[in-house]
């Protein structure tokens, strides 16, 4: 079965290294909290709000060992008045036997206000150990 795994984070400004670092932190947290292996990932969509254009956040995924061949696409979020600025959203499509309610969706930084009903408030270990 393929399931969608959601995640979101924010940056404080439109700077390449901030975008890459925040995206990498988000993806590693999604991997860690859901025991995701790169070979189980069908695709990853990454969207950004219109105020982010300094780099492709997908570059972060390429820094993670064994994720070279995972298909990833970046796109712009629709520009809705009053929406959260400087926001990066990830939709990861993974092969899993887990039920939908077992997926640990991840919302970091200012995005904790988004979809609070999906957040399980799990503690995260050392993100540098994720492969």
pLDDT in the model for residue 130: 44
Domain span at 43: 2-120
**The CATH number of the domain where 43 resides is what?**
3.30.1330.40
pLDDT in the model for residue 114: 80
The answer as to whether 127 is a domain residue is no
The answer as to whether 37 is a domain residue is yes
Residue 74 annotated among the catalytic residues of the structure: yes
Residue 63 annotated among the catalytic residues of the structure: no
Active-site residue (options: 16, 37, 63, 115): 115
- pLDDT tens series, the chain, 131 aa: 999 999 999 999 999 999 999 999 999 999 999 999 999 999 999 999 999 999 999 999 999 999 999 999 999 999 999 999 999 999 999 999 999 999 999 999 988 888 767 666 444 444 444 44
The answer as to whether 129 is a domain residue is no
Active-site residue (options: 107, 117, 129, 131): 107
The answer as to whether 131 is a domain residue is no
Active-site residue (options: 3, 25, 69, 77): 77
Whole-number Å distance between alpha carbons of 6 and 4? 6
pLDDT in the model for residue 118: 64
| Chain length of the chain | 131
pLDDT in the model for residue 122: 46
The answer as to whether 125 is a domain residue is no
pLDDT in the model for residue 127: 45
Whole-number Å distance between alpha carbons of 18 and 14? 7
Residue 3 annotated among the catalytic residues of the structure: no
Active-site residue (options: 16, 37, 62, 63): 62
Residue 107 annotated among the catalytic residues of the structure: yes
Whole-number Å distance between alpha carbons of 35 and 130? 9
What b/e string do you get for 51-83 counting C-beta neighbours within 10 Å, with b at 16 or more?
ebebbbbbebbeebeebeebebebeeeeeeeee
């Amino acid at each position: 079965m393929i399931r969608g795994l959601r995640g979101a984070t924010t940056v404080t400004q439109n700077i390449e290294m901030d975008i890459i670092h925040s995206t990498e932190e988000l993806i590693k947290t999604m991997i860690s909290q859901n025991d995701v292996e790169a070979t189980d990932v069908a695709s990853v969509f990454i969207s950004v709000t219109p105020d982010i254009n300094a780099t492709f956040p997908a570059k972060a995924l390429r820094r993670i060992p064994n994720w070279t061949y995972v298909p990833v696409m970046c796109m712009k979020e629709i520009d809705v008045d009053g929406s959260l600025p400087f926001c990066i959203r990830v939709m990861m499509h993974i092969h899993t036997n887990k039920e939908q309610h077992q997926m640990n969706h991840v919302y970091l930084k200012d995005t904790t206000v988004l979809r609070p009903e999906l957040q399980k408030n799990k503690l995260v270990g050392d993100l540098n150990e994720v492969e």
